[in-house]
């Protein structure tokens, strides 16, 4: 057998003792981990934990495994929203398929779970819009998915909204740029697969009664074209409106979840201007990078925006109390130590891992606002956290607990 692992090598080394010479279906259950919120797959997929980390192992033909290994590696390097690949095992005995190893996407949920048991106020329309954002981002990067479906997408909560990540890249192709025909074909495939998956849920009585599978699937191309037009269109406006219109355009793209690259502004003698914006294909990260710089926290983009707002409010209060300016790095350190960490460390052990720590903090800030409105004064984060842990977090289904937390509780 041969193993090929991406850095860091220590992650791959921890898996070498596993019985790759056996078919995954014959592995000892003691080596495996059940993931309640996982999706379905046409291949044999198993999960295992090593060194406190969780990995997904998938048996597929070697040619497909090598293709997917290479593509997922490039996607990760470019910041595209996909699972992180670790390695492959090939030349297994008795002409067995290869095994592709990816890192489990923490705090992720499958479409089957979300559609059959929606979290909070999130609707099937929000999930579909999130999936369309992922498809547009891939198309901007020249990626033809070839198998865009809900089964091949994982969803993560991000400050009350969702982000989507590609899971399966077996049939994906990379091009310098996709033609309109390639994009249309990919969207048509997505529409067919989403419709079939929702009909399957409906047949199993797992779909809310108000959801029409065909209607939802037919809306996918419409949503896609609207978003594609929004992120690619040129704008023409009067030169006097230049500053306002450019700012509005950039803010709109940021709100949709896209970063902005090069901006081209062409003026004409008649006093008009034409704006073209290059939309970045990588995962947005302005707020994430800023929060990491100030605190060292690695979270998702909307979560980072929410946490930065709280950090800035904390800094303003700190300056008011001391009567002196507070350097942002000092404020970041103190906010982390005095506001964020105490809340995260107070999460009851039996509820740990149901939501990402940053998502818990976001929800506590929302809960604090609700309690303060009801009380007529600010109740403070500590009281809001206690109330949230007593009344809100326990309602989050236990099966949402991320696998690494399950592993950690056994150690």
**Contact yes or no for 250/277 (Cβ under 8 A):** yes
Q: Could you report the per-residue pLDDT of 333-382, keeping only the tens digit for each? A: 999 999 999 999 999 999 999 999 999 999 999 999 999 999 888 898 89
Do the bridges between strand 173-174 and strand 143-144 make them parallel or antiparallel, or are there none, so unpaired? antiparallel
End-to-end Cα separation, the chain, in angstroms: 31
Specify the 3-state DSSP secondary structure of 64: helix
What's the angle, vertex CA 155, arms to CA 351 and CA 120, rounded to 5?
55
Q: Predicted confidence band at 211 (pLDDT cuts at 50, 70, 90)?
A: confident
Q: Could you report the per-residue pLDDT of 14-56, keeping only the tens digit for each? A: 788 899 999 999 999 999 988 876 767 788 999 998 878 899 9
- The CATH class of 108-231 is mainly alpha
Does residue 16 or residue 251 have the better pLDDT?
Answer: 16
Domain ranges of the chain: 2-103, 108-231, 233-279, 299-409
Q: Could you report the per-residue pLDDT of 73-110, keeping only the tens digit for each? A: 999 988 888 999 999 999 999 999 999 999 999 999 88
Distance CA 347, CA 170 (A): 39
In the prediction, which pLDDT does 112 show?
79
- The CATH class of 2-103 is alpha beta
Residue 162 CB burial class (10 angstroms; 0-12, 13-18, ≥19): buried
User: Fold identical between 2-103 and 108-231?
Assistant: no
Helix H or strand E encompassing 277:
strand 272-279
Distance CA 104, CA 41 (A): 15
- Which two structure tokens, joined as six digits, stand for 408? 């950690």
């Amino acid at each position: 057998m041969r193993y090929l692992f991406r850095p860091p090598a220590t992650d791959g080394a921890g898996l070498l003792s596993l019985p790759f010479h056996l078919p995954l279906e014959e592995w000892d259950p003691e080596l495996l981990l059940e993931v309640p919120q996982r999706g379905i797959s046409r291949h044999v997929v198993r999960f295992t934990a090593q060194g406190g980390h969780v990995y997904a192992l998938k048996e597929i033909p070697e040619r497909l495994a090598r293709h997917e290994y290479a593509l997922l590696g490039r996607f990760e390097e470019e910041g595209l929203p996909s699972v992180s690949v670790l390695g492959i095992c090939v030349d297994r005995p008795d002409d067995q398929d290869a095994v592709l190893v990816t890192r489990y996407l923490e705090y992720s949920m499958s479409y089957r779970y979300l559609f059959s048991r929606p979290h909070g106020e999130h609707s099937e329309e929000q999930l579909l819009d999130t999936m369309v954002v992922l498809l547009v981002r891939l198309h901007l990067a020249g990626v033809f998915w070839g198998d865009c479906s809900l089964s091949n997408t994982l969803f993560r909560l991000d400050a009350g909204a969702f982000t989507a990540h590609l899971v399966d890249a077996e049939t994906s192709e990379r091009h310098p740029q996709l033609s309109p025909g390639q994009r249309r074909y990919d969207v048509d495939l997505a529409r067919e697969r989403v419709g079939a998956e929702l009909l399957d849920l409906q047949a199993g009585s797992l779909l809310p009664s108000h959801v029409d599978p065909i209607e939802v699937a037919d809306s996918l191309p419409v949503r896609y074209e609207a978003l594609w037009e929004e992120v690619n269109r040129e704008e023409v406006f009067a030169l006097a409106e230049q500053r306002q219109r450019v700012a509005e355009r950039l803010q709109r793209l940021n709100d949709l979840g896209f970063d902005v690259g090069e901006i081209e502004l062409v003026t004409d003698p008649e006093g008009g201007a034409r704006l073209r914006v290059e939309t970045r294909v990588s995962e947005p990260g302005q707020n994430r990078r800023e929060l990491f710089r100030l605190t060292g926290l690695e979270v998702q983009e909307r979560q980072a925006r929410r946490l930065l707002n709280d950090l800035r409010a904390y800094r303003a209060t700190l300056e008011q109390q001391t009567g002196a300016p507070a350097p942002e790095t000092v404020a970041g350190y103190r906010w982390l130590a005095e506001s964020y960490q105490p809340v995260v460390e107070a999460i009851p052990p039996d509820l740990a891992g149901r939501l990402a720590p940053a998502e818990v903090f976001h929800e506590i800030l929302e809960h604090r606002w609700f309690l303060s409105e009801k009380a007529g004064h600010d109740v403070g984060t500590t009281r809001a956290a206690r109330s949230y842990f007593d009344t809100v977090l326990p309602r989050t289904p236990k099966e949402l607990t991320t696998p690494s937390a399950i592993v950690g509780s056994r150690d």
